[in-house]
Amino acid sequence: MALLLLMIIVAVVLGIIGAVAEGLGYLLAIGIVIFVAAVAVAVARRSGAARGGGKRRRRVR
């Protein structure tokens, strides 16, 4: 979860710098790619949790 939040923050910062600074449009593109990757990771985690996958707890006897 922390990695996902960090990816979104980095994407926003790079996007702002890329949009404001002249000649640094590539940073905007990198920010968009990172944001799309973060959204894809979030969707994959959510769909995996909805299917019942992920960590399984063992019963203590």
Q: What is the pLDDT of residues 32-55, one digit of tens each?
A: 999 999 999 999 988 876 666 556
Q: What is the domain range of residue 28?
A: 2-46
Within-domain flag for 58 = no
Within-domain flag for 57 = no
Find the range with the poorest average confidence among 2-6, 28-32, 55-59. 55-59
d(CA 45, CA 50): 9
pLDDT exceeds cutoff 80 at 59: no
Question: What confidence score (pLDDT) does residue 53 get?
Answer: 56
Q: Give the closest residue to 45 by CA, choosing from 55, 58, 33.
A: 55
Could you give the dihedral angle defined by the CA atoms of residues 28, 30, 35 and 41, in that order, rounded to the nearest 10 degrees? 170
pTM of the model: 0.70
How many separate domains does the chain show?
A: 1
Within-domain flag for 54 = no
